[in-house]
Amino acid sequence: MSWPFSTSNKIVVVTGGGSGIGLSYATLAVANGAKAVVIGDIALTDEAQKIVTETTNLTFQHCDVTQWADLQRLIDVCITKFGNVPDIYVASAGVFEPPYSNFWEDPEPLESNGYKHVDINVNHPIKFTRLAIRALLGKQKHGVVALVSSIAGYSKQYPAPIYSATKHAVVGFTRSLGDAQRFQGVKVIGVCPGIVSTPIWTTSTPGSGERFGIGEDISITPEVVAKTISDGIESPEYPGGTILEVSKLGTRVVPEWFIHPPGMVDGKMPEGTDVPEHMIIKSLEPIMNVTKRERGNMA
């Protein structure tokens, strides 16, 4: 069982709101009548800075999502500036096998005792959700948490195994919290985009767009994903625990069991969805170079 949840006159907080999907959702929330929107990020793009400057009810708050105190500060800012805790929480900050934390190049020293990649993509949405539930219970309010995962959350990604693992984690976490709507009055949903044209392919992991053949022909825009997030938040059609997929092939609710690939009809994939062989080779090339150096080398 679910309920409608209009964005109108609500307080909204978005991690990763400085660019891409997060920024697109933040501006959509403003357009949908949100009372106030706070975007948390480590920095703003020029586009985001211009939007924040020109939009009276859009506020930027510096936030490193690996720091739990920064996540709590997003909620505290809403209380201080707008007199209440947020009603809507969107966790869109994420990275894709960045040069400072990835599986195959393995740049982090043993003393790190963990992957920053996992801190950003997994620990951040989990802790953000816990803080959201606590804040909403404290004010005895209903609310919605939307977590941005990926189609990689239920598919294999050999060149990007940590990214895939983190998105699997978000899908499992979202499903596990489905009953929070019934017990705590907090709806937790997940949105799983396909390939999206965002800075994750350029500034976050330089060169990855070319390596994986990311182009407009297979990508959707951040605005399309933002609309899906908004629909998931507002519509009673999507109860807690729902996983909403959005890609070039359309939107669907992903079932818990026996997940078919996007766009499959009668056991067949649409024409043109196969990855070209030359792109597979190109995506694997850096991995083969690294493991070639390691073979037989115990230094």
**Cα separation, 122 vs 165, whole angstroms:** 9
Instruction: List helix spans (H) across the chain.
Output: 20-31, 46-54, 68-82, 116-118, 124-138, 161-176, 180-184, 208-211, 222-234, 277-294
For the purposes of burial, counting CB atoms within 10 Å of the CB of 194, is it exposed (0-12), middle (13-18) or buried (19 or more)? Answer: buried
Distances (CA, A) of 178 to 22, 146, 226, 229, 235: 23, 12, 21, 16, 15
Q: Which of 25, 89, 115, 163 is catalytic?
A: 163
Tokens encoding 195: 């390939």
**Directed axis angle between helix 46-54 and helix 20-31, to 10°?**
20
CA dist 107 and 100 (Å) reads 6
| Interatomic CA distance for residues 152 and 165, integer angstroms | 8
122, 101 contact by CB (below 8 A): no
Looking at residue 283, what DSSP letter applies?
H
Which residues, in sequence order, are CB contacts of 28 under 8 Å at separation 6+?
223, 226, 227, 230
Identify whether 163 is a catalytic site residue.
yes
**Residue with token string 């998931």:** 232
Interhelix angle 68-82/124-138, rounded to 10 degrees, is 30
- Residues designated catalytic: 163
